[in-house]
Amino acid sequence: MSIESKLSQFREISEKISAYKLALTTLNWDSSTIAPKKGAAYRNKMAALLAGELFSIETSPEFIVCIDELSTEALDEITASEIRQIKKGLDKARYIPKEVYVEFAQLTRDAENVWEKARDEQDYESFKPYLKKLIEMTKKVVSYRKDDRPVYDQLIDDFETGITLADYDVFFEKLKKDIVPLLHKVIDKNIPQPTWLKRIVPIQQQRQVVEILMEYLNYDKSSCYIGESAHPFSSHFSVHDNRVTVRYQEELFTSSIFALIHEVGHATYNGQVDEAYQGRMIEDSMSYGMHESQSRLYENMLGRSREFWSSIYPKVQSVVDALKDVSLDEFILGVNHVELSLVRIEADELTYPLHIMVRYEIEQGLFNGTLDVEGLDQVWSDKYQEYLGIRPPHNGLGILQDIHWSGGAFGYFPTYALGSAYSAQWMAAMRKEIDVDRCLENNDFRSVNEWLRENVHRHGGVYEPNQLLLSVTGEHFNPQYYIDYLKDKYSRLFDVGE
Ligand SMILES: [Zn+2]
């Protein structure tokens, strides 16, 4: 078969795959937002059927032969990247016996139910045997790959291609050395949480803030949609169809605002990918850490800065009664308030990476044999005591708080911290080329989006994180930018000095 016909066969199958994915994304969005609960069982059954069909196409002998053959051809850079990524995924899955695959899928479904109950009842002992089995099964599934690296190294690579355990070790060591002392300096100042943060803000007023933000962030209304859901998320359908959700909470209005800015960061990334990649795998194969870098850049580096709010704050004050007597400076201090906390998803920017460090060290221990599920809840609590200075009163606020392990997602957590660290590196590069603070103060968010489009977004998933960082910033991933950013920001905000 000529290379042209192989490529056209590849495109034909890829398009079919994209069609199934679009259908499944639409079903997922629908059931997480507006679909009536009573129809869930039927919906899930039909979605599982479609997912099965998709799996059959993706692993069909026809497609495997096509990818294997194309991977030995000389292709243009973009297609080569696409084929390489698909082949990498296939190589991980193709040698796993079907019964092992099915057993693992069943285990994660069961474990998720057990975890949810265990969390609500704060009972680690009932989840423990499942956690043990999940670790064993993960090791087993990975063992079918033709890859000699230790299991956890491979898992890390699954979630963030090209970033190694050694990279993470350097990163977390730096955090331990520099951020833990800084955090304790801030905490020692005993700054009380401002009371206005707890004021009730009617949902109608919050909706008006969302309107102000959407205009300010230059979010293109003709290719986006804002819905509501129990947990805020963003969903990508195509370059011109990206959706985000908000969760309005009257008693926690800043949470809705910053979650929205975060999700718009994700959606803007997807919305600014080169249109020519639409429907191709590289359209949205960017890494977890890279995606998170854009949402956190929006939410934290830009969104929690004084410059970001300076031009829109009077408008926000005019619609939110609770902010009428809160000055811009007080607002900025409040939304950057630092507190030792037990729950990752509620953590502030400074403590957040320490929550991840605890999980990373535990995962590493579980896979290199230095830790076991026995007594792991105590290990968790000890690490919180060590890094954050507090102990969970029960396991629901400790080891059982996250869903990830019950789904077999070991190696996922570190990408969250990595995302924040990447964003500091992007920010430093952007500041070299445009006056970010001035753009924000002048209500010119367009220039910020334009820089991100040109340097990061338009490439979609063509490049690995380190490749893209190197070509844009002149360096591979360098955690120093993140450390410097946190030190500079928090010593200025809370006057704690170096
Ligand atoms: Zn995110």
Residue 498 pLDDT exceeds 70: no
Contacts (Cβ under 8 Å, ≥6 apart) of 327: none
Tell me: pLDDT of 191 over 70: yes
Stated pTM of the model: 0.93
pLDDT over threshold 90, residue 432? yes
How far is 336 from 339, CA to CA, in rounded Å? 10
Tokens at 323, concatenated: 């902010």
Above 80 in pLDDT, residue 444? Answer: yes
Sheet with 234-238, strands from edge to edge, namely 224-228, 241-246, 234-238
Which of these, 423, 445, 424, lies nearest to 434 by C-alpha position? 445
Question: 280 CA to middle of ligand 1, Å?
Answer: 22
- The span from the CA of 285 to the CA of 415, in Å, is 15
Catalytic (active site) residue 228: no
Q: By the 8 A CB rule, do 455 and 473 touch? A: no
The overall average pLDDT reported for the chain is 94
CA quadruple 136, 141, 144, 149: dihedral sign: negative
Quote the ligand 1 centre to 415 CA distance (angstroms): 10
- What is the whole-number distance in angstroms between the Cα of residue 420 and the centre of ligand 1? 10
Q: Is it the case that residue 226 has pLDDT exceeding 70?
A: yes
Q: What is the mean pLDDT of residues 338-366?
A: 94
Q: How far is CA 461 from CA 58, 61, 77, 154, in A?
A: 19, 25, 12, 20
Ligand 1 centroid distance, CA of 292 (Å):
5
pLDDT at 451 over 90: yes
Average pLDDT over residues 203-226: 94
Q: 116-125 — which CB contacts under 8 Å span 24+ positions?
A: 116/406, 118/395, 118/400, 119/396, 119/400, 119/401, 120/396, 121/396, 122/394, 122/395, 122/396, 122/400, 123/395, 124/376, 124/377, 124/395, 124/398, 124/399, 124/400
- Stretch 171-179: mean pLDDT, rounded? 93
Q: State the pairing for strand pair 224-228/241-246.
A: parallel
Q: 10: how many CB neighbours lie within 10 A of its CB?
A: 19
Residue 264: its pLDDT value, please?
Answer: 96
At residue 495 the predicted structure's pLDDT band, cuts being 50, 70 and 90, is: confident
Copy the structure tokens of residue 414: 């570190």
Instruction: Check residue 112 and give its pLDDT.
Output: 87
For the record, the structure tokens of 393 come out as 């009163």
What is the number of other CB atoms lying within 10 angstroms of the CB of residue 398? Answer: 22
**In the prediction, which pLDDT does 392 show?**
97
Q: How many CB atoms within 10 Å of residue 202?
A: 14
Residue 53 identity (one-letter amino acid): E
DSSP string spanning 220-263? Answer: -GGGEEEEE-SS--EEEEETTEEEEEE---TT-HHHHHHHHHHH
What local confidence, expressed as pLDDT, does residue 177 receive? Answer: 94
Instruction: Please state which of the ranges 105-114, 241-250, 270-279, 319-328 shows the lowest mean pLDDT.
Output: 105-114
pLDDT per residue as tens digits for the range 288-321? 999 999 999 999 999 999 999 999 999 999 999 9
CA of 262 to the centre of ligand 1 (A): 6
Give distance in angstroms: CA of 449 to centre of ligand 1: 18
pLDDT tier for residue 11 given thresholds of 50, 70 and 90 = very high
Residue 47 confidence (pLDDT): 86
Q: Which stretch, 87-101, 195-209, 218-232, has highest mean pLDDT?
A: 195-209
Q: How confident is the model at residue 121 (pLDDT cuts 50, 70, 90)?
A: very high
Measured in angstroms, how far is the CA atom of residue 286 from the centroid of ligand 1? 13
User: In the predicted model, what is the mean pLDDT of residues 1-21?
Assistant: 94
Helix (H, G, I), strand (E, B) or coil at 268: helix
320 CA distance to ligand 1 middle (Å):
26
- E strands, 263-393, are none
| d(CA 284, ligand 1 centre) in Å | 14
Residue range 185-197: mean pLDDT, rounded:
94
CB atoms within 10 A of CB 464: 19
Q: Name the H helices within 122-252.
A: 124-143, 151-159, 165-188, 203-216
Domain layout of the chain by residue ranges:
3-149, 150-498
Confidence of residue 445 (pLDDT cuts 50, 70, 90): very high
Catalytic residue among 160, 263, 292, 361: 263
The token duo for 108 is 């994660």
> What backbone torsions phi and psi does residue 424 show, to the nearest 5 degrees?
-65, -35
Separation of CA 419 and ligand 1 centre (Å): 9
Q: Which residues contact 8 (CB under 8 A, 6 or more apart)?
A: none
**Mean pLDDT confidence for 41-58:** 87
Q: Decide if 239 contacts 270 (C-beta within 8 A).
A: yes
Q: pLDDT tens digits for 67-112?
A: 999 999 999 999 999 999 999 999 998 888 888 888 898 898 889 8
Please, what CATH class does the domain formed by 150-498 belong to?
mainly alpha
290 vs 419: CA distance, rounded Å: 6
Specify the pLDDT at position 201: 97
